[in-house]
Amino acid sequence: MAADLSSFDPNSVGLKTNNIFGLPFSLEESDLVLLPVPWEVTVSYRNGTARGPENIFGASLQIDLYDSDVKDAWKSGFYMLPEDRNIRKKSNYLRQCAELIISCLSEGGDLETNVQLKEKLREVNEGTTMLRDWVYEMTHRLLKEGKLVGLVGGDHSTPLGFIKALGSFHDNFGILQIDAHADLRIAYEGFTYSHASIMYNVLNEVPQVNKLVQVGVRDYCDEELNIINSNPQHIKTFFDKDIKERQYEGETWKSICTDIVNSLPDKVYISFDIDGLDPKLCPDTGTPVPGGFEMDQIFYLFKLLHNSGKKIIGFDLNEVSCGEHSTDGIDAIIGARVLYKMCNFLSASKDR
């Protein structure tokens, strides 16, 4: 159902009574639907990412709709679903359980000898399994209705169910992961669906993902490096250090981006952890790491991906936080702009 835009002024102020980016579309009128997932149960360091979707929504009203890369993509309709308060409540409770477990481990404690904490670990693992299944059901239904779908977290564990749902509609596809971390840990801190284990779980649970291309990774452990080195057919990692050294030695960002795009198959899912950017752009994210990219560098990578003719089939944006460490709210502003660009490129890929 096409929306009547005759009374909508894209040059005017973003109205709070409208939806994401101040757009006037309903769910039925929108080609692209965003699922907010306010979840941060297993974050290892700083809290706040569960509020990412609501903070991004608020900042999105300040974005001008003109995009020189993808003109008028918004006219196909973008819509963010209402946040599920039960998911937020469940996250808040399980986060308290996880904090006790993490505190015990960081102090050298042994969960095996602590009956209470073993029970809390069981609760956390059951809860994160529930979240995976809930995301699967929500996104699978939207995809079945013919919608384009993007997910807004929350911590980086949130998109697993969505990626599994995409596997029901696509025989094979690749993941372009923008991230400071490899996220290939096995049940980090005892949490099966830890935010630090998302890509390990994807590779083990979604056989349709035939290639993982990681960009900007600069914080990882020996276990993760061994997984990367042992799976050259399925994992290609462009480490931040290697990217920077190639640039220091005179190679252009265009050349490096071309290598990244050429490493991907014809269908691509984008998983964007905001900490892949320089931490000055996301100072409040849960685990900031020095290094990373300017926002425009990643937008250029997305542009080359789009121009290559490859099809973007979905995306997630995670780890945007505006919690107690926030100073000027730039995290949500950057998050909203990243989200808008990803919406535009996903919309432009629809008919490929």
Total structural domains within the chain = 1
Tell me, yes or no, whether 53 lies in a domain.
yes
Q: Please name the residue that has the structure tokens 């903070």.
A: 55
**pLDDT value for 111:** 83
Tell me, yes or no, whether 36 lies in a domain.
yes
For residues 174 and 265, the answer to whether their CB atoms sit within 8 Å is yes
**pLDDT value for 341:** 98
- CATH of residue 184's domain is 3.40.800.10
**pLDDT value for 173:** 98
Tell me, yes or no, whether 258 lies in a domain.
yes
Range of the domain at 286: 24-348
Mean pLDDT, the chain cut into blocks of 10 residues (352 residues total): 83 89 96 97 88 94 95 96 96 94 87 87 96 98 98 97 98 98 95 96 98 98 98 97 98 98 98 97 92 98 98 97 66 96 97 88
- Residue 80 DSSP one-character state: E
Query: Among the residues of the chain, which ranges form H helices?
Result: 52-60, 85-106, 115-144, 160-166, 198-205, 222-230, 240-248, 253-262, 295-307, 330-348
Tell me, yes or no, whether 247 lies in a domain.
yes
Burial class (CB in 10 A: 0-12, 13-18, 19+), 87: buried
Tell me, yes or no, whether 33 lies in a domain.
yes
Q: Output phi, psi for 273, to 5 deg.
A: -90, 125
Q: What is the pTM of this model?
A: 0.96
Tell me, yes or no, whether 5 lies in a domain.
no
Tell me, yes or no, whether 15 lies in a domain.
no
